Amino acid sequence: MAFRINSSQQLSLTDITNSLTLREQKALENSWAKIFAEDIFPAIDEERFRILYSDRTQSKFNTPVNICIGALIIKEMFQISDDEIVENLMLDPRYQYALHTTSFEEQPMSDKTLSRFRKRCYDYEQETGIDLIHDCVADLSGKIAKMMKIHPRIHRMDSLMIEANIKNLSRTELLYSCIAKLARRLHKLGRGDVLEGLEHYYDKNDFNRTFYYSNSTSTEDITQMLLRDADTITGRCRDGLETQEEYRLLERCLSEQTIVEGDTRRLREKKKDSFPKAMMQSPTDPDATYREKAGKKYRGYVANVEEAVDSNGSVIVDYQFEQNIYSDSQFLQDRLAGMEQQEEGTVFVTDGAYCGESNTQAAQEKNIQLITTALTGTEVPDIYADFEFSEDGSKILRCPMGNVPQSCCQSSSNGHYYVSFPKEVCMNCPHKEECRVKEHKKVCSFTISLTAGYRAKAKRFMKTEEFSLLSRIRNGIETVPSVLRKIYHADRMPVHGISRNRLFFGCKVAAFNVRKLFSYRNGWGHYAQNPLFAE
C-alpha cells in the first residue's frame, strides 16, 4: 500500500454541511467537533508514518493517517469501539466535520482500517524499537501546550500501575495454561505423534475437570502430573518444534517456576528459593509482570506521565510505558537521557520515589532543577549541608567552619569519606555534636558521604517557602492516574503485550490532552493560582 498525504480537505458543493439547517449548523459550530477540526486535526503530523507504507505509487493508496490518528483519539475520548467509530463516521456529521471528511463521497474507514493501522505500528516497533504513536502523541501534546499558552518551565511527574487484561492464575494454573497452549498449537499442526497420551490438554473443558471437578486428586498430585507432562511434551518438541512461540513460553515457565534436582523437577519454594524478577504471569500476555506496591499486588505494567503546568492549566507532554518492575527513578533517568540541554531553566517536581543524587546530577547537567517532595532513607544532620566537596567529588575541601581536613580518604566499597581534623579544632567547634565526631588521641574523625550532603541540602530546602509552593503544584498530578483509570479505563485495555498496551495508553493520553484543550477553549478550566507562575 502506497503512502499519500491527505490533501483532500477542501469543502465541495456537495459538502454535507451545506444541507444542514441554520440551527443544525450552529449546533455543529458549538460542538466539540469544531475545536477538534480546527486545532487538533491539522496538528497531526502524517509524514512520520510514511515509513509504514510502500514507495510504489502504482499500488492502492493508504487511508489518510491523520484520519486514523484522529479516529483513535476520538475513540478514546468517548470510550467506543472500532466498529462504533466507523459507524459514527458514516452517520454523524460531527465526526465527519472533526476529521475533515464532510466532502467525501464515501467515508474512508472500514471495519479493519484501525486494526490494520495499529498492526503496522506494532510491527514497525518490533523491528526498529521506534514507537511512532508515542512520537506523534508527544508532538501533538507540545502543540496543545502552545495552544493553551502553557509555559514549559515547570513539569511534574507521577506513575500509575496498569492492570493487564489477564486472568489471575495460580502457579499450578499457569503451568497448566502453558502446557495446554502448546498442546493446542501442536493439534493445529497435526502433530498427533507428539501429543500421544496428552490429547486431553486441547479439550476446552479439560481445565475445569483438572482443577474443579476432580475431588479425588490433591493439589500436590495435580502439580506432579503437570510437571511430568511438561517434561514429556517439551522433550518431544526438541525435534524441530523449538521455534514455536508456545514452546518457548512453556520453557520460560519451567525455568522461572521450577527447579530440577537430580532427576526430579519441583516448584520453587517462596522461602527457600529465589525467583526471577520479571516472571511471566500468563501465557496470554507474557510481557506482564508482578509487583507489590503500597501493600497491593499488581499484574501488568506501569506508566509514567509528565505534565507541563502553569496558570493556564496543564498538559501531559510525555509518557512512558514499561513492565511494572520498572522503578520511578529509572523512568526519570530515561527521560533525562533522552532530553536535550534546556536553554531556559526548567523545574521537575516529583515525589520521593524519583529522588537520588545521581538523578539530581543528571538533571543539573540538562539545566533542570529536580525537586522531590519527600526523601527516602535514613535521617542525616542538617550541618552536613554546609560541607564543601570538590567538583569531582573526590574529597572534602572544608567543614562548615571553614577548616581544612587533616586527612580525607574515600572508601572504594561504599564511596564514604573518612575525614579527620586536629583534635583542638573539633573540640572547640560549636558543631561537634551535630557532626557526630569520634574523639581520638590526637585527632577527631567522622564519616560522611556525598549522598548525606545531598540529603541534608534537600531537607533544608524543604523548609523554604519556595518548596511549599512547588509541593502545591505537584499535588495536582495526583488526579491524573485516577482520571486515566476511571474515565479512560486504563486498567481495562482490550489487548495483550506491552507494545499494544503502550499504543492504547498513548491514545488515552492524547484524548486526555484534547479534552484539556476543549476546557481551555470554552473557558471551563479553573486553576489555583501560584506565585511561582508569575515568575
In a domain, 373, yes or no: no
Q: Are residues 22 and 117 in the same domain?
A: yes
Cα(321)–Cα(304) distance, integer angstroms: 6
What is the reported pTM?
A: 0.88
| Cross-strand partners of 301 | 162, 323
The model's confidence at residue 273, banded by pLDDT at 50, 70 and 90, is confident
Task: Specify which residues 422 forms β-bridges with.
Answer: 443
Do residue 59 and residue 208 come from a single domain?
no
pLDDT, average across residues 493-506: 97
255 in a structural domain? yes
Start-to-end Cα distance in the chain? 52
Residue 314 inside a domain? The answer is yes
Give me the number of domains the chain comprises.
Answer: 4
The predicted pLDDT at position 416 comes to: 86
Residue 115 Cα distances to 90, 174, 357, 373, angstroms: 18, 29, 44, 42
Same domain, 29 and 175: no
C-alpha span between 416 and 260 (Å, rounded): 42
Strand-pair partners of 159: 304
Tens-digit pLDDT profile for residues 340-358: 999 888 999 999 889 887 8
What CATH number is associated with residue 498?
3.30.420
120-124 long-range contacts, CB within 8 A, separation 24+: 120/52, 120/53, 121/52, 121/503, 122/499, 122/500, 122/503, 124/51, 124/52
Number of Cβ within 10 Å of residue 341's Cβ equals 8
- Is 337 inside a domain boundary? yes
How far apart, in whole angstroms, are the C-alpha atoms of residue 169 and residue 282?
7
**222 and 356 in a common domain:** no
Closest-CA residue to 117 (of 67, 77, 75, 165): 67
CA dihedral in degrees (97, 103, 104, 107; nearest 10)?
20
Instruction: Identify which of 418, 393, 419, 388 has the alpha carbon closest to the alpha carbon of residue 406.
Output: 419
Q: Say whether pLDDT at 78 is over 90.
A: yes
| Claim to verify: residue 303 and residue 262 sit in the same structural domain | no
The residue out of 253, 284, 315 marking a domain boundary is 284
Q: Which cell is 353 given?
A: 520515589
* CB contact at 8 A, 382 and 434: yes
Domain finish residue from 458, 493, 511: 458
Q: Tell me, what's the pLDDT at 122? A: 96
Beta strands in 78-175 (DSSP E): 154-163
> Are residues 358 and 490 part of one domain?
yes
187 backbone dihedrals φ, ψ, rounded to 5°:
-65, -40
Looking at the fold, whether 176 and 299 belong to one and the same domain comes out as no
Task: Please name which of 516, 532, 528, 476 lies closest in space to residue 149, comparing C-alpha atoms.
Answer: 516
Output the average pLDDT for the chain.
90
- Residue 79 inside a domain? The answer is yes
Point out the domain boundary residue: 409, 430, 458. 458
Query: Which tens digit of pLDDT belongs to each residue from 139-166?
Result: 999 999 999 999 889 999 999 999 999 9
Q: Is 7 within the bounds of a domain?
A: no
In this structure, the answer to whether residues 303 and 432 fall within a common structural domain is no
User: Rounded to whole angstroms, how far apart are CA atoms 185 and 233?
Assistant: 12
pLDDT confidence of residue 456:
86
The C-alpha cell 545521581 sits at: 358
Whether residue 40 contacts residue 140, with contact meaning beta carbons closer than 8 Å, is answered with yes
Count the neighbouring beta carbons within 10 Å of the beta carbon of residue 290: 17
Say whether both 399 and 483 belong to one domain: no
Q: Please tell me whether residues 356 and 469 are part of one structural domain.
A: yes
Q: Determine the structural domain holding residue 196 and report its residue range.
A: 171-284
> Is 3 within a domain?
no
On whether residue 454 sits in a domain, the answer given is: yes
Mean pLDDT on 81-96: 95
Strand extents, DSSP E, 234-372: 258-261, 264-267, 289-293, 296-310, 313-323, 346-350, 368-372
Name residues whose C-beta falls within 8 Å of residue 297's C-beta, 6 or more positions apart in sequence: 290, 291
Model pLDDT for residues 364-386, shown as the tens digit of each residue = 999 999 998 877 667 788 888 88
| 3-state class (DSSP) for residue 153 | coil
Q: Are residues 356 and 231 in the same domain?
A: no
Q: Does the pLDDT value for residue 173 go beyond 90?
A: yes
Is the domain of 344 the same as that of 421?
A: no
